[in-house]
Amino acid sequence: MKASLQAKMGQQMALTPQLLQSIRLLQVTSLQLEQELQQLLERNPLLEQEPEDEPLPASAEAERAGLEAAAWDELPEPMFLSGGGYAGDPDDDPTARIAAGQSSDPRQRLLDQMALRSTPRELALAAYWLDCCDDRGYLEGPPDALAAQGASQLREELAGVSADELLAARQRLLDGEWPGMAAADPRECLLAQLRALPPGPARTLAMQIVSGHLDLLARHDQAGLAAALGATSEEIAAAVSLVLSLQPHPVEQPPEPEPAYIVPDVIAWRANGGWQVRLNTRSQPRLRLCAYAEQAASGHEGMRGLLEEARWMLRSLGIRNETLLKTARVLVARQQAFLEHGEESIAPLTLKDVAEEIGMHESTVSRITTGKYIQTPRGTLELKQLFAVRLEGADVSGAAIKAMVRRLIESEPAHAPLADDAIAALLARQGIRVARRTVAKYREQLAIAPARERKRAAGGGTRMARAG
């Protein structure tokens, strides 16, 4: 083999702390930002807070944000964030590598984790099985029947898909990031969790208990377990303790957020026959350079560093505010019907739709809507609530259909509650075709009991029963 040297040119720029700061500021909440700005004011004497009795006119605010955004646009994009040579797809934004906030949808959280090691086809197969699961992570039907149904349903989307391939994908879910996901029953879920543990005598015994002696475990009959498995009471106690340490269902819940006051970042209202949107200037202190900043920094190395820090922070704040305002205006414009008429009118809208309209990457839209709230006549809403996924085969969003399901159940006759298939038929008359299992899933998400339980509750004097 002949060795050779080749010269190759490419653009690159390091991911500096300042750039990381600008990206991170897109995602922080208003309360977090206020705390950071107060700390910055304390350590940087070249920054000062604008007096609250000097309101900034709307035109001046927009002009300043526009100038700051223009300054940002002078930087190379998106290659400057790659931290090295860039030779990939120019639409592939490296900022996507910086973690965004976790989705409240467990299905999306799991798919995000799987995306690191799975192909698009494997993700599509996993998404099918997750759609077949209830909110706890258990399948809503027999695996073989669901696999046959999926092979027919996904034939156009995934060429050559078979029931066997779908069953293999379910097995990967069972033994994947969330052990037990897509299990057919608690026994299968517990066994998957045990397989994920390090091998040892206690695990082996625990798997035998779960496989064939759950009835004895449920009765707390450790003596019966010891006799059935030929083990000592100490060994049985260790195995039982291991089983009891497992999760009863596979869905992992995100950590509970710390309670905090909600401060709207954006305000939207109807005026002059349309919708107006502006930033809530009271959600964060307005900063500016001190009048003596340039003079103080001249000839002093340390002060020049503080001046650069102050300028970059002001620029980053301008980018954050401009991005937030543009995103909020698009969301309000696309969801006018929802703001005026309610949940049944919410339109399908994705991060990609908004990103294309404002000319930014989806990851930027995801960050700027994380933990941000908008004050509307319908109440204070999280910006994420204005996104809605289009239900396959329908022209409306899943959130709108969920609201329709709730309305139909709330208006049903007390003596004759609507079954899930009856609700699906009523929706079909309105041109919205959904499967019975989809109606059942939405009903469970609304914490509404099945028809037979609602009928019993109505007979006992209670109009609607809530699912346990």
Q: According to the model, what pLDDT value does residue 117 have?
A: 81
pLDDT per position as a tens digit, 358-396: 998 888 888 899 889 999 988 888 898 888 766 555 556
The pLDDT score that the predictor gives to residue 95 is: 41
User: What is the per-residue pLDDT across 303-322, written as a single tens digit (0 to 9) for each?
Assistant: 777 888 888 888 888 889 99
Report the percentage of the chain scoring pLDDT > 70.
Answer: 75
pLDDT tier, 428 (very low <50, low <70, confident <90, very high otherwise) = confident
Would you identify the CATH topology of the domain 398-459?
Arc Repressor Mutant, subunit A (1.10.10)
Q: Tell me the whole-structure pTM to 2 decimals.
A: 0.50
pLDDT given at position 459: 59
How does pLDDT run across 112-171, given as a tens digit for each residue? 888 878 888 888 898 889 888 888 888 988 999 999 998 888 888 888 889 999 999 999
Quote the crossing angle between the two packed helices 143-153 and 120-131, to the nearest 10°: 130
Domain boundaries, the chain: 16-82+257-388, 106-174, 186-244, 398-459
Q: Give 442's pLDDT tier (boundaries 50, 70, 90).
A: confident
Q: For the chain, give the mean pLDDT.
A: 77
Residue with tokens 């299992």: 437
- SS3 of the chain: the string is CCCCCCCCCCCCCCCCHHHHHHHHHHHCCHHHHHHHHHHHHHHCCCEEECCCCCCCCHHHHHHHHHHHHHHHHCCCCCHHHCCCCCCCCCCCCHHHHCCCCCCCCHHHHHHHHHCCCCCHHHHHHHHHHHHCECCCCEECCCHHHHHHHHHHHCCCCCCCCCHHHHHHHHHHHHCCCCCCCCECCHHHHHHHHHHCCCCCHHHHHHHHHHHHCHHHHHCCCHHHHHHHHCCCHHHHHHHHHHHHCCCCCCCCCCCCCCCCCCCCCEEEEEECCEEEEEECHHHCCCEEECCCHHHHHCCCHHHHHHHHHHHHHHHHHHHHHHHHHHHHHHHHHHCHHHHHHCHHHCCCECHHHHHHHHCCCHHHHHHHCCCCEEEECCEEEEHHHHCECECCCCCCEHHHHHHHHHHHHHCCCCCCCCCHHHHHHHHHHCCCCCCHHHHHHHHHHCCECCHHHHHHHHHCCCCCCECC
- Averaged pLDDT, 179-204: 90
Residue 4's pLDDT band, with cuts at 50, 70 and 90, is low
pLDDT for res 278 = 92
What value does the mean pLDDT take over residues 189-203? 90
Q: How confident is the model at residue 76 (pLDDT cuts 50, 70, 90)?
A: very low
Output the pLDDT for position 3. 57
Higher-scoring residue by pLDDT: 151, 465: 151
Q: What is the pLDDT of residues 41-65, one digit of tens each?
A: 888 787 888 776 555 455 554 444 4
- Per-residue three-class SS string for 164-220: HHHHHHHHHHHCCCCCCCCECCHHHHHHHHHHCCCCCHHHHHHHHHHHHCHHHHHCC
Model confidence band, residue 84 (pLDDT cutoffs 50, 70, 90): very low
Confidence (pLDDT) at 53 = 54
Q: Which tokens go with 247? A: 């999760």
Tell me, what's the pLDDT at 325? 93
> How does 127-154 read in b/e, with b if 16+ C-beta sit within 10 Å?
bbbbbbbeebbbbeeebeebbebbbebb
Q: What pLDDT does residue 361 have?
A: 87
Within 13 A of 199's CA, how many CA atoms are on the CB side?
A: 0
Q: Cα(303)–Cα(294) distance, rounded to whole angstroms? A: 9
Residue 254: cis peptide before it, omega within 30 degrees of 0: no
